[in-house]
Amino acid sequence: MMTGRKGFTVLELIIYLGIVSCVLLINLVLISFIKGNHIENRLFWHSFQECWTQAQQTARVNHCKYEVMIETKPQQVVFKPYHQKIKKQVLKCL
């Protein structure tokens, strides 16, 4: 005669943990694969950070402000100073 069970058997727990582990492992592999393939994104954001820092430093030294524009044709980010003697910086997007 079988009474109402409470909980899992050891075999059921092992199977459950195995399935959960496989799903987590697949997710970790996919995340590392996706991050590794986007080197262009990392390079762009690194270049953006360099341009941003340089624009901030130049603005402090020359006591002026910068305008950051995103242009679609051609695809680029322009750091344009309000001071006419300072050259603008252009970051091209690939």
Residue 5 to residue 7: CA distance in whole angstroms: 6
Domain membership of residue 45 (yes or no) is yes
Residue 34 lies in a domain: no
Whether 43 is in a domain gets the answer yes
pLDDT tens for the chain, 94 residues long, are 456 667 778 888 999 999 999 999 999 888 877 776 677 777 888 888 998 898 888 888 888 888 888 888 888 888 888 878 888 888 887 6
pLDDT at residue 2, as a whole number = 55
Q: State which H helix or E strand residue 92 sits in.
A: strand 89-92
Q: Is residue 80 part of a domain?
A: yes
CA distance 55 to 61: 10
**Number of domains observed in the structure of the chain:** 1
| Domain presence at residue 33 | no
pTM for the complete prediction? 0.54
pLDDT at 37: 66
Q: Is residue 12 part of a domain?
A: no
Amino acid at 67: E
The range of the structural domain enclosing residue 45 comes to 39-92
Assigned domain for 71 exists: yes
